Chain A
């Protein structure tokens, strides 16, 4: 009997005999659907997929894997864009999809206790009857799971005003690789000891397995109004973003789309966008009736002064939905333009938007590949979409290289390689450019504090120094070798 079979036999004991064949998959045709997350460029088939529906089963699976030194990769809905849930070929994929219950909603304390497999949007749908909602709204919110949101510190259109996942959760229940069940955070506004709640948020399944999440709910705003501002120069639109925020307005959402994105989205869902605009800004203001009235007037004036050629405020809820439909459908709309696209996630200081967009245009011309821009301008979180055809040999590699250059430039102007999609496997090489050896070593030490054997999602998020040495050798900047202290082979 080989090692794989021995492991599967052991894992089978975690499940009731009758259910074992549904909850422990190990035949190749059953494993194939799990070989990637939403970043399909990376694929790997795990030894087995475990789909527990009880906490005790998770504990047992982890203890078997701990004993046998088997890697464990957690997976929520598989909608991640950075390959964070890419299976390990010598490991177990731990699907948390069956933990899909909303345990309770506390309308007095404005919190909900949910299992990790609950869909993001399902929380707001359940909270609606209490006049509450869950604010972070990644564009995949209809499908993505809250556990995955915590693992990636997911953002969304409205996080400019309401924060990221880290700002909207209060407590986690987790199981560590060595079997401890821990409660991180508490029901209060703060908790004693180190802020492991922040550390675990965005840790990409590298520190512990999340089994329960208490999220913060907010009262649904009385009014939300959206403005569509057109510009004949994308740089002017970029500057308008800084002008709005610099003058004290924090919109609920502030999104920028370039001409290619405008046309693609409008052709797809007929959002009523102006095809002749070089760029549009969608600016949403929410709050009480009076607050929205005051701020709408001011924002309109600021946008006019900043050079908007036309400003249209959605006349009713139907038109508001229509304006947003274009933005929300922008990615699939761009998908109609090209067989494949590659979505980047760099974040930059807002005053660099115009500069970085110019650099992207230059790179796009240099590589002869179209780049479409549609992004969270208020946060400076770019999502350049690079169009390509994976069937053409070498095009994916060229696209990744172009994407890498965009991210390098984001770091150069004071930004980061990822604002909300995570590092996963996709941006692991770029981590070497953003952090030095000592910082990367400290990250590894953080992981070991939670996961001594380094079995949770190994190879993701934080590169080894060796990898940086090898990758860095390709990117010598001004003659300075990154990580010079390392031997190179």
Chain B
């Protein structure tokens, strides 16, 4: 079966370019909530599927953008490898193209890196209906500007992703998840200490007054590390599936029913030792779920958190729990000079403003 729909997609963009018609880019449409509403014709990458090249010993997979995350991850798992940035699958229709376009990373981000860290190359269709290949299928490549990583998080506003070459990593030989009761401040201090001691912490989550940690390494290293923690705390070993709930936001914390009527969910990203939230804005600790060793906080708040995020050199994103659109920019406002370059960059790739116009910020 031919799953290469790049020419069809290219024709659609060419037509939209000629007619100056805006396009709504969709893969599995599982992250439609993550950005502004766009008016236009839908262009879907959902049929453009399949693994183009995968040699496990190269640690690189090249895959078409419409490939389901679940299928890609299953193929990697069969070879004891993984997408180490643990992309969220909000629904079973989530695609790799959507994961990269939105640039979201899951719990393992703290140990292995983010979505963009694993992008080695990509083929895109820009707003002039040109197919462009950037980066490559090698680990190191500094020829030309790094336009492939520029696509990560751009939500298709600079180009429609056709295929991606991604670095993959071996799965850990051993992995355990431990849960323990403690205060948040104590948790963050201990995690910092444990990391310096070389404990292989590959995920952390603080919610409901308990800290959950995942250790990933060789069997002996995981056992020794678990003993180190057990000497200080009474822990319970729980299933590693706990992290699916965090990654895919199916954990109870994220359920719509658990959000008060006047609250909204915010995603706040900042330094791990930032303590301002919760102290100043009356947000109860029960209204927070904290990942990434303190550097990512999901906060149910009565008011906007942009100002506080900026004061702490971080950023906040308004995150609709019911996965529907909100009629406002959801991302942290950019400083004017930076916005100016964003607008110019958008024009450099998409002069007629047809690719997901206004999706990321109203003005680009």
Residues on A facing B (Cβ under 8 Å):
106, 108-111, 131-132, 152-153, 155, 159-160, 163-164, 166-167, 171, 176, 180-184, 186-196, 198-199, 201-203, 206-207, 219, 221-222, 242-243, 245-246, 248-250, 287-291, 293-295, 347-351, 376, 379-381, 414-423, 427, 431, 434-435, 438-439, 442-443, 445-450, 461-462
Q: Given contacts A132-B196, A294-B219, A450-B344, could you give 14 more A-B pairs where the C-beta distance is less than 8 Å?
A: A189-B105, A191-B269, A219-B197, A222-B197, A242-B57, A242-B58, A288-B200, A294-B220, A295-B218, A347-B139, A347-B140, A380-B140, A442-B348, A449-B344
**Given contacts A188-B269, A290-B218, is CB(A219)–CB(B195) below 8 Å?**
yes
What separation, in Å, do the CA atoms of A215 and B192 have in the docked complex? Answer: 17
A/B pair count, beta carbons within 8 Å:
267
Query: A192 to B315, Cβ gap below 8 A?
Result: yes
Query: A248 to B170, Cβ gap below 8 A?
Result: yes
B173-214 contacts to A (CB < 8 Å): 173, 192, 195-200
CB of B202, distance to nearest CB on chain A (Å): 13
Query: B150 to A180, Cβ gap below 8 A?
Result: no
Which of B42-50, B89-97, B107-115 binds A? B107-115
B109 / chain A contacts, CB cutoff of 8 Å: 189
**Given contacts A193-B360, A288-B225, A439-B134, is CB(A199)–CB(B114) below 8 Å?**
no
What separation, in Å, do the CA atoms of A245 and B223 have in the docked complex? Answer: 24
B83 / chain A contacts, CB cutoff of 8 Å: none
What separation, in Å, do the CA atoms of A207 and B295 have in the docked complex? Answer: 30
Which of B16-24, B65-73, B249-257, B327-335 binds A? B327-335
The contact of A167 among B105, B113, B217, by CB within 8 Å, is: B113
Q: List 12 interface pairs A-B (beta carbons < 8 Å), by A numbering.
A: A131-B196, A152-B142, A166-B117, A176-B337, A184-B338, A187-B270, A188-B271, A193-B360, A417-B143, A435-B144, A442-B130, A442-B147
**Given contacts A131-B196, A449-B347, is CB(A182)–CB(B57) below 8 Å?**
no
A163 / chain B contacts, CB cutoff of 8 Å: 113, 117
Query: A439 to B132, Cβ gap below 8 A?
Result: yes
B197 / chain A contacts, CB cutoff of 8 Å: 219, 222
A183 / chain B contacts, CB cutoff of 8 Å: 335, 338
Task: Please tell me the size bucket of the interface on B.
Answer: 35 or more
Query: A446 to B345, Cβ gap below 8 A?
Result: yes
Q: Does B136 contact A (CB under 8 A)?
A: yes
A379 / chain B contacts, CB cutoff of 8 Å: 138-140
A461 / chain B contacts, CB cutoff of 8 Å: 144-145
Instruction: Output the nearest chain B residue to A171 by Cβ-Cβ distance.
Output: B313
CB of A248, distance to nearest CB on chain B (Å): 4
B145 / chain A contacts, CB cutoff of 8 Å: 199, 202-203, 206-207, 443, 446-447, 461-462
Query: A420 to B221, Cβ gap below 8 A?
Result: no
CB of A435, distance to nearest CB on chain B (Å): 6
**Given contacts A380-B138, A431-B144, is CB(A195)–CB(B196) below 8 Å?**
no
Query: B199 to A288, Cβ gap below 8 A?
Result: yes
Instruction: Output the nearest chain B residue to A162 by Cβ-Cβ distance.
Output: B113
A246 / chain B contacts, CB cutoff of 8 Å: 56-57
Q: Does B230 contact A (CB under 8 A)?
A: no
Q: Does B302 contact A (CB under 8 A)?
A: no
Query: A288 to B146, Cβ gap below 8 A?
Result: no
What are the interface flags for B136-175 relative to A under an 8 Å C-beta threshold, 1 for contact and 0 otherwise? 1111111111110110111000100000000001110100
Query: A287 to B139, Cβ gap below 8 A?
Result: no
CB of B286, distance to nearest CB on chain A (Å): 23
CB of A180, distance to nearest CB on chain B (Å): 4
Query: B337 to A180, Cβ gap below 8 A?
Result: yes
Query: B269 to A287, Cβ gap below 8 A?
Result: no
CB of A456, distance to nearest CB on chain B (Å): 13
CB of A19, distance to nearest CB on chain B (Å): 30
CB of B270, distance to nearest CB on chain A (Å): 5
CB of B59, distance to nearest CB on chain A (Å): 6
CB of A190, distance to nearest CB on chain B (Å): 6
The contact of B58 among A206, A347, A350, by CB within 8 Å, is: A350
Query: B221 to A448, Cβ gap below 8 A?
Result: no
Q: Does B314 contact A (CB under 8 A)?
A: yes
B334 / chain A contacts, CB cutoff of 8 Å: 192-193
**Given contacts A152-B142, A248-B80, is CB(A187)–CB(B218) below 8 Å?**
no
Q: Does B301 contact A (CB under 8 A)?
A: no
Query: A381 to B140, Cβ gap below 8 A?
Result: yes
What separation, in Å, do the CA atoms of A443 and B192 have in the docked complex? Answer: 41
Q: Does B272 contact A (CB under 8 A)?
A: yes
The contact of B348 among A193, A289, A415, A445, by CB within 8 Å, is: A445
Most B CB contacts (10 A, CB to CB) among A111, A287, A380, A442 go to A442
Query: B58 to A418, Cβ gap below 8 A?
Result: no
Query: B116 to A416, Cβ gap below 8 A?
Result: no
Query: B140 to A420, Cβ gap below 8 A?
Result: yes
What separation, in Å, do the CA atoms of A189 and B153 have in the docked complex? Answer: 13
CB of A166, distance to nearest CB on chain B (Å): 7
**Given contacts A449-B341, A449-B348, is CB(A198)–CB(B150) below 8 Å?**
yes
The contact of B147 among A199, A295, A414, by CB within 8 Å, is: A199
A243 / chain B contacts, CB cutoff of 8 Å: 57
A186 / chain B contacts, CB cutoff of 8 Å: 269-270, 313-315
CB of A177, distance to nearest CB on chain B (Å): 12
Query: A442 to B103, Cβ gap below 8 A?
Result: no
CB of A292, distance to nearest CB on chain B (Å): 9
CB of A138, distance to nearest CB on chain B (Å): 12
A416 / chain B contacts, CB cutoff of 8 Å: 136, 138, 140-143
Query: B271 to A153, Cβ gap below 8 A?
Result: no
A194 / chain B contacts, CB cutoff of 8 Å: 150, 153-154, 158, 342, 345
Q: Does B247 contact A (CB under 8 A)?
A: no
What separation, in Å, do the CA atoms of A106 and B342 have in the docked complex? Answer: 30
What separation, in Å, do the CA atoms of A435 and B141 have in the docked complex? Answer: 13
A349 / chain B contacts, CB cutoff of 8 Å: 55, 58, 60, 137-138
CB of B7, distance to nearest CB on chain A (Å): 16
Q: Does B324 contact A (CB under 8 A)?
A: no
What separation, in Å, do the CA atoms of A277 and B242 have in the docked complex? Answer: 51
CB of A111, distance to nearest CB on chain B (Å): 8
B348 / chain A contacts, CB cutoff of 8 Å: 442, 445-446, 448-449
Query: A219 to B196, Cβ gap below 8 A?
Result: yes
What separation, in Å, do the CA atoms of A294 and B225 have in the docked complex? Answer: 14
What separation, in Å, do the CA atoms of A381 and B262 have in the docked complex? Answer: 55
The contact of A202 among B103, B146, B173, B317, by CB within 8 Å, is: B146
B255-280 contacts to A (CB < 8 Å): 269-273
Query: A153 to B142, Cβ gap below 8 A?
Result: yes
**Given contacts A189-B269, A203-B145, is CB(A159)–CB(B140) below 8 Å?**
yes
Query: A176 to B341, Cβ gap below 8 A?
Result: yes
The contact of A193 among B80, B271, B361, by CB within 8 Å, is: B361
What separation, in Å, do the CA atoms of A16 and B138 have in the docked complex? Answer: 49
CB of B148, distance to nearest CB on chain A (Å): 9
Q: Does B340 contact A (CB under 8 A)?
A: yes
